Structure 1
C-alpha cells in the first residue's frame, strides 16, 4: 500500500473516531435535554433517579461505551461499503498519475538519447568541416539545454498537476465520506442510546457535527 493511501487510511480512522465522539455527544445531550424537559414536572422521583445516574464518572463511562459502539459499527459499515471503493479510486488515480509522470520521464530520456546520438555523429565529422562542426556543436548544446529544460519543466508540471489531482480526489472523497459518516454516526448513536431522532433533528445534528469538524480542522 502506498504512503498516500496509508496516510488516507489513518486520516479516515481519526476522522471516524472524531465523528463518533461528536455524534454520540450531540445525540446524548439532545436525548438528555428531551428527557429532562418531558419528565421533570410529572415525575420528581424519575428526575432524582436521572440525577443519580448522571454523575460525571458514570456519564463519562456511558459516553465512552456509546462512542466505542458507534465507532466500531460505523467502521464496520464503511469498511464494507464505502472505503474499498474510495481506496480503489485513489489507488487507480495514483497509478494513472504515476504513469503520466513515468511517460514524461521516458520522453526526457529519449530526448537525451537522441541528442547523444546526434552529438556522436557530429564528432565523426571530417577535419575539413571542423568549422561547420563547431557551429553545429554550439547549436546542439543550445538544443540540448532547451530539450532538457523543456522535458524537465514538462515532467515537473505533470508531477505537480498529478499531485494536485490526487489531493483534489482525496479531498472530495473525504468530503463525501464526511457527509456519509456523519449521517451513519447520528443514526448509530440514536440506535445505541435508544432515542428516536426526527429527520429535521438528524439533519441539524449532521450540520452541527460537520461544523465542529470543520472548526477543529
Structure 2
C-alpha cells in the first residue's frame, strides 16, 4: 500500500508538467515570465528545459545573459549576450544588452561605443530612442557634462517610448533637482505601463537616483 501511494503521488506531481507540455507552453516564454517576476532560479530552469529539447538559440543565450546580469555577473552576462549576437548578428536585443552590461559594469566608453554602433544600423524609432537614452546615461555616468548635454538634446519630444521623460528625469537627478526628476517619472508612469518603463528605470536605480528596483525587462 505505501508503495502504491508513492507511485500515485509521483504521478500526480508530474501532471502539471505534462499539462504544460500538452498545452504547448514555450519554456522560453515561461523563462521570461519568471525573470520579470524576479524568480531567477526558475527562469534558469526553464531555459535549461528549452535547451534540452533543442540547441541553444539567440533567445536562450540572451535570456541567460539577463539572468546573469540580475545576479550581478556582468562579465558572464556579456559572454551570453555575445553568444546570442554570434547566433544572430542582426538581432537588436543582444546588441542592446551588450551595451547595458557594459553600462552596469561602469565601462562608460565601451558601453557608449556599443550603443553608437547599434544606432548606426537601426531605423526603428523605438530602438533608436532606447539607444540614445543609453548614450546619455554613459555620459552622465562618466560625469561628462558636455557629452551629456549633447546626448540629452538629441532626445526630442515626443518619443514613442518613455525615453524623453526618463531623459528629463535623469538630467534633473544628475543636476541635483530630485523633485523635478520625480515629477518626470510620475508623468512617465501615467503614460506608460511598467513593462515599458522598466528598461529606462534600471540605470536610474543603479545610479542611486531612485530606490525601487524595477523588474527585469526581457524585451
Fold conserved (TM > 0.5)?
no
| Structure showing greater Rg | 1
Scaled by the length of structure 2, the TM-score of the pair is: 0.21
TM-score computed with the length of structure 1 as normaliser: 0.22
The structure that is helix-richer by fraction is: 1
